[in-house]
Structure 1
């Protein structure tokens, strides 16, 4: 299997997981953000931003990836993106980060839904219809099944795409983003792991 296909499969997993737990709060997976404390066997220990420490079990199905930084100018008309955003004072959406999907992953997780990357944040997985240069960034007109919106991407917002990684990259001190399914007794089973690599931390 090529790296391109592996990355596309990982993005599909991330997108579908995000969409599913946005729509099913009773059984939603959990997003875990923080720093790796250790990896012992299949047990990943993470010190969360909130201050607590959790353990996450990795299974054979757990996907591990990294992200690499790209330029705002790499977002083109026709790109398929995932944009986390918050409303500004005027109510318009301002991106806090943008993930650019490979073409083979186009359409995964499509839609606009609530997200937990800050107060009142949202996630839009959509096609870029138009790109308009602004005084403080670029305005993206996004369309998805059932709707559309415009997101302003500031020049300082992280713009990334997925990059290869393995469990060997899960080392202490690295920042990590985990989509995990809750298990009995407060345990978690990882579905998707994005780890810091080459100095680029997962912004999602």
Structure 2
């Protein structure tokens, strides 16, 4: 694994510590989800889900990765995962997506905190202690510094892992997840991009 990929993976893991990245703060990174309009030179334009189009300046240090779909059965005790989840009527957490981190990213962004994938959504970056087969998926017992929880992962929920990508893959129409910092000029400074590859869009 290259040093660049290690850096990129570690950075995205850190960005998942969403509690530190309040989107209302002008000097804090934001998570941008949408579709690529264009990528020319170092300028990436993304049409966000919210309806607006933003301009992102990609620096030399801006990491680019993609995601690869894997099976729910690939999550084993000892895996380090990031699971976005929503509470059900009974308060139990049900996953909306699960990212299985490469070993190089183990331990980074660890914890349980608010997320912005939907109302009341949370993100848990944690070690998988146990995996129990249920009637509608798998129950993951997760532990992290300071706590633990159990998240139900339905069979139809996206499960992905990170793989290397290049800027040549930032083409019009692809779905992206971008971590970027707002600038005074109204644009963004790109920190990290996860781009769709082989039809697999970043679910986070």
Q: TM-score, normalised by structure 1?
A: 0.95
Q: Deviations over 1:91-138 (max 9, x none)?
A: 100000000012221101000010000111000000000101100000
Return 9-18 or 29-38, whichever deviates more: 9-18
For 1:74, the equivalent position in structure 2 comes to 74
For 1:177, the equivalent position in structure 2 comes to 177
Q: Deviations over 1:145-199 (max 9, x none)?
A: 0000000000000000011210000000001110001111221011100000111
For 2:6, the equivalent position in structure 1 comes to 8
Say whether residues 1:31 and 2:31 are aligned partners.
yes
For 1:22, the equivalent position in structure 2 comes to 19
Tell me if structure 2 keeps the 8 A contact 1:8–1:102.
no
Tell me if structure 2 keeps the 8 A contact 1:175–1:195.
yes
Q: TM-score, normalised by structure 2?
A: 0.95
For 2:92, the equivalent position in structure 1 comes to 92
Say whether residues 1:186 and 2:186 are aligned partners.
yes
Return 180-189 or 110-119, whichever deviates more: 180-189
Gaps of 5+ in 2: none
Cα RMSD (Å) = 1.2
Tell me if structure 2 keeps the 8 A contact 1:7–1:162.
no
Q: How does 1:33-72 map to 2 (within 5 A)?
A: 33-72=33-72
**SS at 1:172's partner residue?**
coil
Shift of 1:24: 4.8
